Amino acid sequence: MTPDGGIRAQGVRRSFGPVHAVADVDLVAAPGRVTALIGPNGSGKTTLLLMLAGLLTPDAGTISIAGADPVTQNYAARSRTGWMPDVFGTWDSLTAREVLTTVAAAYRIDAATGRARAGELLELVHLSEFADQPAHVLSRGQKQRLGLARALVHDPDVLLLDEPASGLDPRSRVDLRVLVRRLAAEGKTVLVSSHVLTELDEMADDAVFISRGRTVATQSVADGDRPREWRVTALDPAALTAWLDENGPAYRREGDSPAVLVELAGDAAAAALLRSAVEAGIDVSSLAPAGGVLEQAYLALEEERR
Amino acid sequence: MSADVEVVEQAPAPVPGTRGTWSLSWHGLRTVTVLELRQRVRSTRWKTALIVWFLVVGLITMLTTGAFAIISGDGSTDETFGGTVYSIVVGFVLFLGLLVAPTLSSGAINGDRNAGTLATLQVTLLTPAEIVLGKLAAAWIAALAFLVASIPFLVWALVGGGVSWFALLTTVLMLALVLGVVCAIGLGFSAVVSKTSGSAVLTYLTVGGITAVLPILFGLLVPATTTTESVRVWAVEAGYTWEETTAPECEWQTQEIDVWHSERTWWLLAPNPFVVVADAQPLGDPETLGEDENMLAVLQYGVRYARTGDSGPRDWCTGVYMGEGSQPESPVEPVQVTDQLVWPWGLGFDLLLGAAGVIVAVNRLRVPTARLAQGTRVA
């Protein structure tokens, strides 16, 4: 085992018959950071996560999970990985608490510790009041939270979350974000796949974009000084566009919306634009990034592909 | 593994070493079995099935007892009703068991796979062997519950007389083993086939194969195993006209006759669950076979006869003359059926089938998996 933890995947490939689900993926997710795995539907995210979780053998390439190779050291890799699949069933007739104690037992945790851990996790995902209800009465979002708790039972070093936010209400999404950040702060490696990009914006430190089974880009989210579009709205849209025509950067309109989109180099440029607009007497009512960093990066990649 | 029973509550090593596909621990096995049984016990379908089973077997016992009472008149021969009722109840329990057992296990793996709960077990530290054997244990325990529900009726038939307690013991033991084998076969198919209906059909076909197809094959092979041989026959004297009023003299002749060598194909009968159950009881006295009407004993006698074969001398003379006068003792000994057991071979074969089912299932649950069956998702 190598001392470096986290997830490392290199040149990973996997096909199902003629379908190349994962054609060539390179991915590094560092401990203590949240890495977003982004890609359109059918880009191979779930297949990749299955390989990382140690359920599927890659056709080629190497994977290391917290220092263990899921192909040759599957058992060791499994013991360090917490996996939350995108679609999963629950044992419907079991209560939420029993689901967690069963999983704890399956991870060879003794009964007393398992019970304590189940209580803790139910508290964590706000399911304590449903602890002794059968899982089939839980709503989709509640099941999703139970699934997250299940992935955390054995306190894994590496977390693989496949679409964790789907079906969650706004409150739970915030909770999820806080929880994921906290887990990363504890030094865990978190890989989150999603296509709700605004969600990931606030959660992720790094992003890996895959498309058609290939890694197409890797970038850091926290990178605030990368050029992107900002949305500007003024009380008098005509005055704003007139001012922009004269002084400002190039802009474009977004349909019939009174707002205009301008491409700015970074936060400093945005502040400068706002200051000069206000000084020029334009009543700017809002200036904000149009969409998240990830969304823009994603759409830019889509553009390139066309 | 044996000592682990006492230490279940003790924590297994929190930092595990490596455990392979076939590693087994009591802790892991129990986890899977408890999980499976919990789900089964909580479904109402299962309770209904048990109640229906109890009522049906009870009804059959009642009807058989009633019918026997009518046939035998006013109970003058009531000391032997046990044999008949017992064999009918056992046969029926086995028949129903063979129908129910496949449903208990043939959806255990592909059903979980379709429901998306299999992968969540596979990523844990349970080994494939623990998952498969845990599921087998749960299915078997469920099948045994049906068997236990029918024990009152078996005991009731036993009280009727004619059957020994020891026979009850061997019968119940064999029934339990046969049901376990059927569960294991179903489990194997459920790991291979992606649809639960498909694995159920294949399990029924396999059970039907050993129960019906092999005996039919045995029958079809009669011409192939029959040869014409010279056999010494204790026959009616040459030139006897049958109009005479005196009994014919019997004499030894050598005749060319067809001899069926069932001892070459008896093993086709052995895997049949009914044969296994019937043959495991102590061999009865052929003299009382007819009166007893214990069909299990008749079946046992039949397969033992088939295993013995009949190629010795024949007696075609004694008893053919219906007229007056005494006849000499027959010099031909009646065929003594072999005391060599048939059931170990049959049960051995069945157990091999069951073991094959388990091995196939464990191999299919190995992670990481290299191949996916058509149309299945791992998750």
- Whether residues A88 and B116 touch (CB distance < 8 A) is answered with yes
Q: Is residue B257 part of a domain?
A: yes
Q: Is residue B59 part of a domain?
A: yes
pTM of the predicted model as reported, rounded to 2 decimal places: 0.87
**Which whole number is the average pLDDT over B18-29?**
90
C-alpha–C-alpha distance, residues A2 and B158, integer Å: 69
Whether B295 has a pLDDT exceeding 90, the answer reads no
Inter-axis angle of helices B26-42 and B128-159, nearest 10: 60
Residues B179 and B232 placed together within one structural domain of the fold:
no
Confidence at residue B34, expressed as pLDDT on a 0 to 100 scale: 96
Residues B261 and B353 placed together within one structural domain of the fold:
no
Q: Give chain A's contact residues with B (Cβ, < 8 Å).
A: 16, 46, 50-51, 53-57, 70-71, 73-76, 78-79, 81, 83, 85-94, 98, 102-103, 105-113, 134, 150, 154
| Average pLDDT taken over every residue of chain A | 87
Residues B268 and B194 placed together within one structural domain of the fold:
no
Contact between B127 and B24 (Cβ < 8 Å): yes
Whether A60 has a pLDDT exceeding 90, the answer reads yes
Q: Among B276, B299, B315, which residue terminates a domain? A: B315
Residues B358 and B297 placed together within one structural domain of the fold:
no
Among B16, B112, B124, select the one facing A103 at the smallest CB separation: B124
* B212 CB neighbour count, 10 Å cutoff: 11
Q: Among B279, B300, B315, which residue terminates a domain? A: B315
Confidence at residue B243, expressed as pLDDT on a 0 to 100 scale: 75
Domain, as residue range, for B235: 226-315
Whether A288 has a pLDDT exceeding 90, the answer reads no
Two tokens, residue B83: 């044999």
Among A55, A108, A112, select the one facing B369 at the smallest CB separation: A55
Q: Is residue B85 part of a domain?
A: yes
Residues B309 and B232 placed together within one structural domain of the fold:
yes
Q: Is residue B192 part of a domain?
A: yes
* A92 CB neighbour count, 10 Å cutoff: 17
- Whether residues A109 and B368 touch (CB distance < 8 A) is answered with no
Q: Is residue B330 part of a domain?
A: no
Q: Indicate the class that CATH gives domain A7-220.
A: alpha beta
Q: Is residue B334 part of a domain?
A: no
Q: Which of B251, B250, B235, B244 is nearest to B323 (CA)?
A: B244
Amino acid letter, A193: S
Chain A residues whose CB is inside 8 A of the B373 CB are: none
Alpha helices (H) in chain B, listed in sequence order: 26-42, 44-71, 81-105, 110-115, 118-122, 128-159, 165-192, 196-208, 214-220, 273-279, 289-292, 295-308, 343-365
- Whether residues A85 and B14 touch (CB distance < 8 A) is answered with no
Which residue of B32, B363, B364, B367 is the best one to mutate when testing the A interface, meaning the one whose CB has the most A CBs within 10 A? B367
A138-166 pLDDT per residue, tens: 888 899 999 999 999 999 999 999 989 88
Strands A60-65, A7-16: pairing is antiparallel
For residue A153, the chain B residue with the least C-alpha distance is B124
Alpha helices (H) in A55-201, listed in sequence order: 74-80, 96-106, 111-124, 140-152, 170-185, 197-201
Whether B339 has a pLDDT exceeding 90, the answer reads no
Q: Is residue B335 part of a domain?
A: no
Residues B138 and B117 placed together within one structural domain of the fold:
yes
Among B9, B43, B120, select the one facing A110 at the smallest CB separation: B9
Q: Is residue B376 part of a domain?
A: no
Identify the residue whose tokens are 């339990």.
Answer: B176
Confidence at residue B17, expressed as pLDDT on a 0 to 100 scale: 66
Contact between A225 and A53 (Cβ < 8 Å): no
- Whether residues A56 and B14 touch (CB distance < 8 A) is answered with no
How many angstroms separate the CA of residue B25 from the nearest CA in chain A?
10
For residue B7, the chain A residue with the least C-alpha distance is A110
Residues B160 and B302 placed together within one structural domain of the fold:
no
- Whether residues A78 and B125 touch (CB distance < 8 A) is answered with yes
pLDDT-wise least confident of A15-29, B131-145, B172-186: A15-29
Percent of chain B with pLDDT over 70: 86
Confidence at residue B97, expressed as pLDDT on a 0 to 100 scale: 95
Residues B353 and B288 placed together within one structural domain of the fold:
no
- Ranked by mean pLDDT, the top range of A81-85, B237-241, B317-321 is A81-85
Confidence at residue B292, expressed as pLDDT on a 0 to 100 scale: 62
A180-213 pLDDT per residue, tens: 999 999 999 999 998 778 778 888 899 999 988 8
Please give the ipTM for the structure prediction: 0.85
Contact between A119 and A97 (Cβ < 8 Å): yes
Two tokens, residue B206: 């396999």
